[in-house]
Amino acid sequence: MTDPDQLDLLSINTIRTLSIDAVQKARSGHPGTPMDAAPTVYCLWQRFLRYDPEDPNWPNRDRFVLSNGHASVMLYSLLYLCGVKASNPTYEQAGRLAVTLDDLKNFRQGNSRCPGHPEYGWTSGVEATTGPLGQGVATSVGMAIAERWVAATYNRPGYDLFSYNVYALCGDGCLMEGVSSEAASLAGHLKLSNLCWIYDDNHVTIEGATSLAFTEDVGSRFLSYGWNVTRVSDANDLAMLGRAYETFLNTHDRPTLIIVESHIGYGAPHKQDTAAAHGEPLGPEEVRLAKEFYGWNPDAEFYVPAGVQKNFQEQLGLRGAKTHALWNELFSAYRKKNPDLADQIDRMQRGELPEQWQNALPTFPADAKGLATRESSGKVLNAIAERVPWLLGGAADLAPSTKTHLSFDSAGEFQASGNDDYRGRNFHFGVREHAMCAIANGLALSKLRPFASSFLIFTDYCRGAVRLSALMKLPVVYVWTHDSVSLGEDGPTHQPIEHLASLRAMPGMIVIRPADANEVVEAWRAILQIKDRPVSLVLTRQALPTLDRTKYRAASGVSKGAYVLIDAPDARPDALLMATGSEVSLCVAAHEQLASEGIKTRVISIPSWELFESQSLEYRNSVLPPEVTARVVVEEASTFGWERYIGVQGTMIGIHSFGLSAPIEVVQRHFGFTSEHVVSAARQQVTRQGGRS
């Protein structure tokens, strides 16, 4: 064995032993995959990955996504050995390593930069929070799409600013999950030749051998998706691994799957090929045996031999620094020649918007017939997107229904058929809701501003990825339409009930359900200025009256989450009428009827709990005066959670069952969503509580 070969093996075994020690010290974690996959990631990082450890956010870096996130300790060991610098401003000191040896020693402990699964924004060098299996590979498709789009949009002859590749390491579990199949199918259709999935085929999951439940020919499946498939029969053969990566780099018409045949827990003779090595620490005796197998001092813990870190610096580090420096020179020249395009790139990277983008926002005149909020949203979206070039997205085969198709001349369709179609801003995800949302996360991680759309009911199919949007604080815009039982004849399977409550319960998610076209305008105004949270914009299928803002308060109150739409003449209401979305107009009608009876009411539109709760207590009390206890809330959804606004004495007109298949008028009468019912509830509240108390 030559000296370079020995150094390679020494470096690989350092990744393995650091991972073993971290898991053992934590008494928690998964050492098996780091042990078998260490050569696979070592070969990629050392010989192929274009990555500058000094700047893990360099825009043209290659991306590495650890989809089998339970192997996080392997990634942390790599980040430490490669000397990746912290870029997160919350780190305590400038120039700090993203992962220190002390962080590794505190794997899975509070405040360590080495949590149990990789977390984006917490540990620099982690490209995505992967969490549930399959999410990482699906998200990587969004990253690959983003590269194709920015390259097609911003590259110019002689200025190939964007040319990065996306690698994702996955395991058997990732490829069993349905979201990975959805994403792989779309990636093959789009011919994303910059995308490489590395399948660590070790034949083991938590319950045991994969043969218990997974006997398909994965390679043939991916060939049918339109992927290139290559195999590495020995995970420890760096030459074979290198040839596989070269095959990927030389494939220009499709994504690549590299199937690496490995043995989990490699080097732990007694637990090799067992689920135990996958899902729990090896134990002291097995740790000693593994280290002896690697030629390691069995008593040494967290040992990094001399020369290992220098090895990473001289290969990954020097290659990345040189490539990054050349890119900086290229971008500097590009900026002089294409200042407007460079400004767009800068703004994307900083999460900023073009100047005067709000000038594009329309205003809708009062109209008793009005528009469905999905219709007005489509108009607003098109107006904004024409001013914000990196606002893009699509629907899960429902754009004609969700009104999310960008129809202006330069919008285009994102396809792989040539003629600059990768510049298109309309994405067709097919009937793949879960993958759509994971891909939107990948687009947002790449600094684009994505929207993704479907019916509100189908958030059931999206939740894993939507939750990760919130967990990663990504400003993905979700457009959910057909928002209530008022969609009518499609019936209970398509009528959302608990979905608003479910989204409101998700930490970090902002839910906005506007009441008319001008509230939609203000919702979009607020959404585009949110940089660190996803938003669920919830819209109607049916037309809603466009309220007369010369008669009622301005829709700008949407930005505060709730506002007084109509007040009592003396601003001293006997009762509060509260609603979201389509039900606000019921409260408006009820207000007028109650006024004729001498009952003074205040109508409050509450499009967003989250925005309202972020306001000062003084403002919230000015909208919902604590002394007015006669309260009625109206929403075509589960009543869960509304107690915070109506108290124990208020009335909630909501739904306590699944929906009904019938015309909209029949459904609304059946569930009591009529102005007459609101009037009756308000009367009872005032009578029961004696008005102002």
DSSP string, 419-471: TTGGG--EEE--S-HHHHHHHHHHHHHTT-EEEEEEEGGGGGGTHHHHHHHHH
Q: Do 671 and 564 touch, CB atoms closer than 8 A?
A: no
pLDDT attached to residue 621: 98
pLDDT, tens digit (0-9, with 9 covering 90-100), for 581-609: 999 999 999 999 999 999 999 999 999 99
pLDDT attached to residue 275: 41
Residue 685 corresponds to which tokens in the numbers above? 């509240």
pLDDT attached to residue 188: 98
pLDDT, tens digit (0-9, with 9 covering 90-100), for 120-153: 999 999 999 998 999 999 999 999 999 999 999 9
Report DSSP letters for 22-61, one per residue.
Answer: HHHHHT-S--HHHHHHHHHHHHHHHHT----TT-TT-TTP
Domain ranges in the chain are 3-324, 357-545, 558-689
Identify which of 315, 189, 187, 204 has the alpha carbon closest to the alpha carbon of residue 257. 187
Backbone φ and ψ of 589, nearest 5°: -65, -40
Separation between Cα atoms, residue 530 and residue 474, nearest integer Å: 10
Instruction: Using DSSP, state whether 655 is helix, strand or coil.
Output: strand
Strand partners, 371: 544
Q: Do 344 and 510 touch, CB atoms closer than 8 A?
A: no
* 229-242: b (≥16 Cβ within 10 Å) or e: bbebeebbebebbb
CATH class, 558-689 region? alpha beta
Separation between Cα atoms, residue 637 and residue 443, nearest integer Å: 31
pLDDT attached to residue 271: 44
Backbone φ and ψ of 612, nearest 5°: -65, -45
Pairing verdict, β 543-546 and 367-372: antiparallel
pLDDT attached to residue 648: 87
Residue ranges for the chain with pLDDT beneath 50? 266-277, 691-693
Which helix (DSSP H) or strand (DSSP E) does residue 652 occupy?
Answer: strand 651-655
pLDDT attached to residue 21: 95
Residue ranges with strand state E in 175-323: 195-201, 204-205, 208-209, 228-232, 256-261
Q: Do 533 and 510 touch, CB atoms closer than 8 A?
A: yes
Report the sign of the C-alpha dihedral through residues 394, 400, 406, 410, in that order. Answer: positive
Q: pTM here?
A: 0.96
pLDDT, tens digit (0-9, with 9 covering 90-100), for 310-322: 999 999 999 999 9
**Would you name the residues annotated as active-site residues?**
433
pLDDT attached to residue 273: 42
| CA angle in degrees (0–180, nearest 5) for 214-217-220 | 145
| CATH architecture, range 357-545 | 3-Layer(aba) Sandwich (3.40)
Do 3-324 and 357-545 come out as alike in CATH topology? yes
pLDDT attached to residue 210: 82
- What dotted CATH number matches 3-324? 3.40.50.970
